Amino acid sequence: MIIQESRIRTKSGADAIARHVLHGPKNEAIRIMAGSDWLLYDAMREARRENLTYGLRHIAFNPNEPMTDAQLAKFAGRICHELHADPEHMTLVIHQKDGSTHGHLLLPEWQEDHILDSRFSWIRLEKLARLEEIRLGHALVAGRHDRSITKALRQDGKVHEAELIAALAPAQPADKPRAAYTSQAHRTAERQGLDLPKLKQRVASLWTQSDGLKSFRAALTEHGLTMREGDRTEKRPGAHIIETSDGKLIGSFTRLTKVRMVEFRKLLAEEQHRTVSKPETDIKSTRLPIRRTTPDFYEEYPIPKTTDAQTAPRKRPVIKRPKIREWQRELWLQRMADVDTTATKPLSPTSSIRIISAEEARFRKEIKKAIAQQQAILDQQAPEASWKPLDRNRTIAIWRKQLIPYQKQLRKSYDRYATAKRAWQEAEKSRWQRMTGKAAKLESLADQLFFDFLEILRFVVQALLHIVGLRSEPPQPIRTVLNEKNRPQLERFKKTYDAEFSAMADPQKLESWLNQRFDTLAQARQRRIDKWEKEHTGEKHTARREIERLSALLSTKPALLRRQVTMHRQTPQILTSSPFATLL
């Protein structure tokens, strides 16, 4: 079992990993065992709230021998237990490609009260993979950390498993297995239109057929490839990379050919020794000795004397103080003048300062607090009123970009069905093909491709509804086994969503359909906002009247305010409906 781990940065978001894991069009079938894309987006929001660098942990495991979905799910649970993750928040997806299955496990880095454990995670994941192979009786796959895994298992008391894994470790540390490329490099090559596994096999076969670096370079040139020195020569001197003729990187020479770096440096030295020829004459030194032959030698060749300007000491630079601005100077003088003034001045008779009692101050404070509460009710808005208005062009462009792979998949399926149908119709015209049974076989193939086309149509229409928000769940994976029993259900689905099918088949209709969907979305939001405002109109009217009454009470003269406080205390039954019943 090959197991790989990668961490998704918070600033990258969950869109790319959700498209790859949950909606990968290159897979034959996708089975979502746990979680959803909404769970991934929520994990990213939590990581952003906690200021984490990474938001998701992506663990992909690909067994060499077949495993059932239940076995893959149990293995995912063991990974959660090992990394101290909550299985309730995991997203587990099973991909089926070329008849084999592999799993994708996505875990949030923020686990409600702690960060997901990452200490020696690569070694621990390889240990789980080896133990799972032993538990299921699969052939053990050698890894780079077999010695560390053996040591850890012996400490845990699993001596038998440790002995089995110890036999996989190579004698020399340099002989450890290495991956020819990372998963990130594989994804990058796919986006560039390169088949990295095939190119790696081609480079390895060319190296085995070559008798040296010179013939290997010539073989690479014949296949449109080149080998040159790497860019990071200061960190890895002598490292060479192999790339295509247009500069697309394939990988390093040592990783692709499994040649040790020490041996490769020897090959480079031999190649350079053959190409660089030794010069005919080897002049060790070209300096001619000079000897004084006459008494006035130093007068004939005088030594230049230094001038006075050169010998004079340099003058120390003058450091000028910054010039103070005029307004700063006036402010400084005013502050210096205020030093001699008295600390307190008697209040003038016309001063606006009024001394109030502590009881009156507390009452005014409670009134202001109640006004603030009523103002908060007035300031409330509908939940969607503060949202940014929808941008039609940007929203439709995003929808259109997400639908491109599904359109290609639908068009490819229809072309296969149309080709098979034409071949069957041509065979029906031939009497000989009808007698030999070839026409019947072609008819059966056309029927099967028609079922496949209806199933892909169902998948594509559900994807369309999910992307534009009319379906909460992602599309159900494509079923690979279909027969006549599934035909009524598929045809009923096609009849129900005929408009969506027509939109996906015709780009002009799709543009019109997306515009109508955007208008419906914007109108529905505005209706929700208007409904909320209508429901809270009475509450806001009451709050506005209460603010007016309290403001008038706050501007009352002190004597009248004190008399109103006394009246409120004498008649508490009148204040039962007032918001100040609890304050007085």
3-state secondary structure 41-95: HHHHHHHHHCCCCEEEEEEEEECCCCCCHHHHHHHHHHHHHHCCCCHHHCEEEEE
Beta bridge partners of 115: 110
Residue 196: its pLDDT value, please? 67
Q: Alpha-carbon distance 489 to 504, whole Å?
A: 20
Which residues, 6 or more positions from 1, have their beta carbon under 8 angstroms from its beta carbon?
61, 62, 63, 64, 129, 132, 133, 138, 141
Give the percent of the chain with pLDDT over 90.
4
Residue 233: its pLDDT value, please? 60
352-368 residues labelled b (16+ CB within 10 A) or e (exposed): eeeeeeeeeeebeebbe
Rounded mean pLDDT, 409-427 = 87
| Confidence label for 58 from pLDDT (cuts 50, 70 and 90) | very high
**What is the separation of C-alpha 470 from the centre of its chain, rounded to a whole number of angstroms?**
25
| Confidence label for 30 from pLDDT (cuts 50, 70 and 90) | confident
Residue 179: its pLDDT value, please? 55
pLDDT of 499 above 60: yes
DSSP state of 89: G
Least confident of 86-95, 214-223, 255-264, 278-287: 278-287
Question: Rg of the chain's alpha carbons, rounded to an integer?
Answer: 40
pLDDT of 548 above 80: yes
Strand (E) or helix (H) holding 5: strand 2-9
Greater pLDDT, 452 or 190? 452
Q: Which of 73-87, 194-208, 295-309, 505-519 has the highest mean pLDDT?
A: 73-87
Strand (E) or helix (H) holding 62: strand 54-62
Q: Alpha-carbon distance 325 to 443, whole Å?
A: 96
Rounded mean pLDDT, 97-105 = 84
Q: Alpha-carbon distance 562 to 71, whole Å?
A: 79
Q: Let me know if 336 is exposed, middle or buried by CB neighbors in 10 A (0-12, 13-18, 19+).
A: exposed
Nearest of 179, 189, 42 to residue 106 by alpha carbon = 42
Rounded mean pLDDT, 244-269 = 76
Q: What are phi and psi of 95, to 5 degrees?
A: -105, 140
pLDDT of 420 above 80: yes
Residue 105: its pLDDT value, please? 92
Which residues, 6 or more positions from 309, have their beta carbon under 8 angstroms from its beta carbon?
none
pLDDT of 190 above 80: no
For 289, the token pair is: 């000795």
Q: Let me know if 83 is exposed, middle or buried by CB neighbors in 10 A (0-12, 13-18, 19+).
A: buried
Q: State whether residue 97 is helix, strand or coil.
A: strand
Strand (E) or helix (H) holding 240: strand 240-244
The maximal CA–CA distance of the chain, rounded, in angstroms, is: 131
| Confidence label for 318 from pLDDT (cuts 50, 70 and 90) | confident
Residue 575: its pLDDT value, please? 38
Residue 583: its pLDDT value, please? 39
Least confident of 114-128, 166-180, 398-412, 498-512: 166-180
- Are 167 and 130 spatial neighbours (Cβ–Cβ below 8 Å)? no
pLDDT, the chain, mean? 77
| Confidence label for 582 from pLDDT (cuts 50, 70 and 90) | very low
Which residues, 6 or more positions from 515, have their beta carbon under 8 angstroms from its beta carbon?
392, 396
Rounded mean pLDDT, 266-272 = 76
Give the percent of the chain with pLDDT over 70.
79
Rounded mean pLDDT, 291-304 = 55
Residue 274: its pLDDT value, please? 67
Greater pLDDT, 170 or 583? 170
Rounded mean pLDDT, 96-122 = 85
Domains, the chain, in order of start with CATH, read: 2-141 (3.30.930.30), 183-270 (no CATH), 392-532 (no CATH)
Rounded mean pLDDT, 357-384 = 87
